[in-house]
Chains A and B, each alone.
Chain A
Amino acid sequence: SAVISQKPSRDICQRGTSLTIQCQVDSQVTMMFWYRQQPGQSLTLIATANQGSEATYESGFVIDKFPISRPNLTFSTLTVSNMSPEDSSIYLCSVPGTGGAEQYFGPGTRLTVT
C-alpha cells in the first residue's frame, strides 16, 4: 500500500481564519480523496481530486469553503476557509490501492477551531 503523510497532524485555529492541510503520497495516483470525520462520527467524503482538473465536491461541501489543489500526481492540499467551531474535525486524505477499489488513508489532521 502507498505511504501517505499529512501536515499538520493537528492544529488549533481561531474562528474566521483558514488552514491548509497537505497530503503527500509516495507514489503517483490519479485520484485523491478528502474526508471529514467529526468527533465520534463516521467518514464523510468532501471531494475527489484529480490531477489537472477541478475537484468534484459532494453534496453539502462547496469550493469556496473547501478549496482543493492537486498540482501533481503525488500531492494535494485542502483548505478549510473562514473556520467556525463546527469545522472542528479530523480531516483525512486517501488514495486508491493498486486494485483500484480499496482506499488507504493518511494519518489525519485534527483541527480544533476556537
Chain B
Amino acid sequence: GENVEQHPSTLSVQEGDSAVIKCTYSDSASNYFPWYKQELGKRPQLIIDIRSNVGEKKDQRIAVTLNKTAKHFSLHITETQPEDSAVYFCAASINTSGSGGSYIPTFGRGTSLIVHP
C-alpha cells in the first residue's frame, strides 16, 4: 500500500518567516495530494490540494509543489502569522474504482508548526 513520509515533525518559525513542509510518497499511482490543517481540538480542514497533472498551485500565502518523478510534494507558507500555528497533514490519494470512484487518502504523520510572534 501507499506510504507517506512527512518532515519535519515540528517546525518553529518567527512571525513573518516562511515555512516549508515536505512529504514523499511511495505509490506512483497516487494522483491527488491534499494538505490539511488541524488546530488544537478542531477537525482537520482542507487548505490546499494538487493533482498529479499540475506542478504547482498557489492560494494567497500558501503554495504546494509536486514532483512526480521524485514522488515528493511540499507545502510552502509565506509571511507566517501566529494563527498559522497548527498541525499540518499531507496526504497522497489514489482513485480506487473498487470504492465507487472515491479517493482514499494515506496521511503523513503531521507537522506541528509553531509561529512565534
Contacts and interface: CB of A to CB of B under 8 A. Distances in A.
B34 A102 contact: yes
A103 B36 CA distance: 10
B102 A104 contact: no
A36 to B, nearest CB: 11
B100 A103 contact: no
Interface residues of A, number: 23
A42 B109 contact: yes
Contacts of A100: 101-103
B25 interface: no
A31 B32 contact: no
A28 interface: no
B107 A43 contact: yes
A42 to B, nearest CB: 5
Interface residues of B, number: 25
Contacts of A30: 100, 102
A59 B51 CA distance: 26
Contact of B102 (A41, A43, A48, A105): A48
B99 A56 contact: yes
B89 A43 contact: yes
Contacts of A59: 1
Interface of A: 30-31, 41-45, 48, 50, 56, 59, 92, 96-97, 100-108
